[in-house]
Amino acid sequence: MFAIVVGDIKKSELVIKNLKDKNYGVTFIDINMLKNITGNCLKENRAHFAKLFIALTDDDHMNLYLCKLAKKVYNVEKTIALANYPDNIDLMKRQNIDNVICPNLFIKNSIEEIVTREEE
């Protein structure tokens, strides 16, 4: 199985390691090295063979674009996008991205849980 991860190494390191542990072959595209990611870039990285595509850049519109491209042009089975703004989650889901993850929402929920627990 083959996966492509796009983002910066800090955010992607753990994900890549985890995928490798699960026997995925992983290609990492570093957004800092390649500011303007285009369709050609996905083609060069054999996106058409990928089963999984993960977009973890700081820009929601970039993540949305890359996942749409992976899905529509390269028929990638599963796409996962990072939503930096919780407000963009609905829009991304409506655009047929299989999974949208939002760290800010995780943080908010965790803090809420801690605060509620302490109040009890």
Partner 1 sequence: MFLLFFIESPEQGGADMYNIVIGSNSYAEMIIDLLIEKNKLVFAMDKKENLQRISQKKIVKLEVNTDNSKLVQSSLGNQQVESIYIVTDDDKLNLMLGEQLAEYDNTYVFLLDEKLTAIADGNYKIICPSLLIKEFVMREIQ
Burial state string for 42-65 with b = 16 or more CB within 10 A and e = fewer than 16: beebebeebebbbbbbeebebbbb
Among 25, 41, 68, 101, the residue binding partner 1 under the rule CB under 8 A is: 68
The C-alpha atoms of residue 26 and residue 111 are separated, in whole angstroms, by 33
What's the min distance (Å) between Cβ of 111 and partner 1? 21
Angle at 109 between CA 105 and CA 113, to 5 degrees: 170
Q: Between residues 27 and 63, which has the closer beta carbon with respect to partner 1?
A: 63
Q: Is 62 in the site for partner 1 (CB under 8 A)?
A: yes
What's the min distance (Å) between Cβ of 109 and partner 1? 19
Residue pair 51/78 in contact (Cβ under 8 Å)? The answer is yes
Q: Is 39 in the site for partner 1 (CB under 8 A)?
A: yes
Q: Is 44 in the site for partner 1 (CB under 8 A)?
A: no
The C-alpha atoms of residue 44 and residue 37 are separated, in whole angstroms, by 11
Question: With CB under 8 A as the contact rule, which of the stretches 9-17, 20-28, 67-75, 108-116 interacts with partner 1?
Answer: 67-75
Q: Between residues 3 and 69, which has the closer beta carbon with respect to partner 1?
A: 69
Q: Is 48 in the site for partner 1 (CB under 8 A)?
A: no
Interacting residues with partner 1 between 70 and 99 (CB under 8 A): 72-73, 84-85, 87-88, 90-91, 94-95
Angle at 34 between CA 51 and CA 25, to 5 degrees: 25
